[in-house]
């Protein structure tokens, strides 16, 4: 799917090297700012033409970025790290969300976990003869890293020996596995947890990344190419301002935000009612300020490198461009 937002203002403001801002984003809930910017016409407020393209997943955007096709990419922080690690001159100018992960288990196990804590996993294996199975995104993804961090650092458990962590692909397969009761638990972003609860699938929260992840757990971000953040600073700051405007829209008009993200994701995949209910979740912490994930990002950089997603352990200096946010704050 591709669409072009209208032209607002004078296209010459972007400088000689950029006359169109090309934006890649995804039909996922953590990209809600891009959905609002598209549906509410906020891209029209950027002083050059904006072209948007929706990709099904982060790896597809990473592949497209290899040829330098996009000026702004809105997706998970791990794909953003992969792009930077490959030497493409791009940096994070906005966070989309902070602390977006919920760790879930069946209602029966959640009651056991509440009383026994980490020991509940061993008790589950003794009682059933099988390890507790978490189903989530592939290894090295945001949900996977958050889950592994929680298991290892918080509970002292080892994935693969104390619990099973199964890669199910994207949100759709995880959602189906929850609704059909095929897994014991998951590490997942909204709106899937809310949908599972609204469908009475039999799962509840075991923990939330806001309780255990230090410094603000990063999720989705806006990654901007150097030709914009350095070569066309007026365009960069206009994007940052409209991103902030979209975040404020979520807070001020949650009904409108739910309609916007439902329209972009698809009303069959995400009915407006589910989109609106998910906004009330503690995991729906939509932000624009990149400083809100500044302290938590180095942990993700270490784990991304440890799990083989990046060749280097990326520093915040390589990952962030704070100046445009700071100039417009």
What CATH topology corresponds to 2-98+216-328?
A: D-Maltodextrin-Binding Protein; domain 2 (3.40.190)
Neighbours of 204 (CB within 10 A): 20
Class for domain 101-212, per CATH? Answer: alpha beta
Please choose, from the candidates 60, 101, 94, 112, the residue with its C-alpha nearest in 3D space to the C-alpha of residue 213. 101
Buried b (16+ CB within 10 A) or exposed e, 156-194: ebebeebbbbeebeebeebbebbbeeebbbbbbbbbbbb
The predicted pLDDT at position 329 comes to 80
Domain ranges of the chain: 2-98+216-328, 101-212
| pLDDT < 70 positions in the chain | 1-17
Helix/strand/coil for 298: helix
- Which secondary-structure segment (H or E) carries 136? strand 133-136
pLDDT tens digits, residue range 242-281?
A: 999 999 999 999 999 999 999 999 999 999 999 999 999 9
Q: In what order do the strands lie in the sheet with 185-189?
A: 164-167, 133-136, 185-189, 101-106, 203-208
DSSP string, 197-231: HHTT-SEEEEEEHHHH-TT--B-EEEEEEHHHHTT
The predicted pLDDT at position 76 comes to 95
Let me know if the fold of 2-98+216-328 is the same as that of 101-212. Answer: yes
The answer to whether 312 and 82 have CB atoms below 8 angstroms apart is no
The answer to whether 205 and 97 have CB atoms below 8 angstroms apart is no
- pTM recorded for the entire structure: 0.92
């Amino acid at each position: 799917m591709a669409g072009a937002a209208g032209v607002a203002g004078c296209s010459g403001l972007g400088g000689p090297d950029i006359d169109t801002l090309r934006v890649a984003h995804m039909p996922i809930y953590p990209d809600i700012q891009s959905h609002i910017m598209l549906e509410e016409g906020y891209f029209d407020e950027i002083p050059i033409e904006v072209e948007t393209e929706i990709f099904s997943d982060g790896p597809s955007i990473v592949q497209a970025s290899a040829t330098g096709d996009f000026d702004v990419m809105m997706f998970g922080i791990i794909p953003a790290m992969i792009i930077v690690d490959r030497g493409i001159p791009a940096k994070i100018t906005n966070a989309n969300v902070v602390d977006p992960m919920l760790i879930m288990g069946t209602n029966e196990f959640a009651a056991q976990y509440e009383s026994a804590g980490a020991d509940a996993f061993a008790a589950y294996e003794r009682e059933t003869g099988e390890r507790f199975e978490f189903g989530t995104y592939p290894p090295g993804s945001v949900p996977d890293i958050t889950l592994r961090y929680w298991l290892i650092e918080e509970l002292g458990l080892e994935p693969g020996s104390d619990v099973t962590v199964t890669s199910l692909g994207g949100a759709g397969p995880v959602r189906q596995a929850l609704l059909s009761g095929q897994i014991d638990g998951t590490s997942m972003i909204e709106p899937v947890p809310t949908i599972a609860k609204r469908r009475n699938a039999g799962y509840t929260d075991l923990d939330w990344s806001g309780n255990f992840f230090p410094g603000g757990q990063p999720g989705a971000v806006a990654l901007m190419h150097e030709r914009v953040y350095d070569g066309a600073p007026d365009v960069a700051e206009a994007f940052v301002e409209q991103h902030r405007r979209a975040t404020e829209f979520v807070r001020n008009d949650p009904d409108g935000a739910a309609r916007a993200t439902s329209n972009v994701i698809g009303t069959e995949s995400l009915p407006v009612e589910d989109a609106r209910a998910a906004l009330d979740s503690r995991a729906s912490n939509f932000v624009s300020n990149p400083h809100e994930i500044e302290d938590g990002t180095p942990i993700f950089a270490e784990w991304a490198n440890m799990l083989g997603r990046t060749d280097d352990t990326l520093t915040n200096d390589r990952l962030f461009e704070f100046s445009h946010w700071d100039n417009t704050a």
